Amino acid sequence: MYVDIELIGGKGGIGKFRALVDTGATYTVIPKRTAEELGIASTGRRVSVVTARGGETTLEEGVAVIRLMGEERTNVVLISDEVEQVLIGGVTTLETFGLRVDSTTGKLERTGVLLLALHQ
């Protein structure tokens, strides 16, 4: 499924995208050229990932503000030379927003954010 999102970079650059939701992905991944255009800089860290195409690679880590369904959150994103479109990762981004994919409608629905109960 696809969703409309906005990415905001460190220099205030804003881009609107039709992003593919990948519920099996841990992180949101953005094309390197998008990161450059919006001023989303690398944190200097690299993250090892396994891709759906069966390979292991290392991607740069960046930080971006993501606007989705009327809300904004700051999220870690991975920057890739290989992807051509923005991929929204289900584990970090969707859960940060308290969203999940409803498989019956093919749309995002609000579920709330989970918090582990703390005992003293």
* Per-residue pLDDT, 120: 58
**pLDDT (tens place) for every residue of the chain, 120 residues total:** 999 999 999 878 899 999 999 988 999 999 999 999 999 989 999 999 988 777 899 999 999 999 999 999 999 999 999 899 999 987 889 989 999 999 899 899 998 776 666 665
CATH fold group of domain 2-110: Cathepsin D, subunit A; domain 1 (2.40.70)
Contacts of 23 (CB under 8 A, 6+ apart): 90, 94, 101
Geometric angle at alpha carbon 46, from 86 and 67, rounded to 5°: 30
pTM comes to 0.87
Count the neighbouring beta carbons within 10 Å of the beta carbon of residue 4. Answer: 11
Distance of alpha carbon 38 from alpha carbon 106, whole angstroms: 29
Bridge partners, 119 (sequence order): none
Are 78 and 48 contacting, i.e. CB atoms less than 8 angstroms apart? no
Domain boundaries, the chain: 2-110
Distance of alpha carbon 40 from alpha carbon 79, whole angstroms: 9
**Strand pairing report for 107-110 and 99-102:** antiparallel
Distance of alpha carbon 43 from alpha carbon 41, whole angstroms: 6
Distance of alpha carbon 35 from alpha carbon 77, whole angstroms: 10
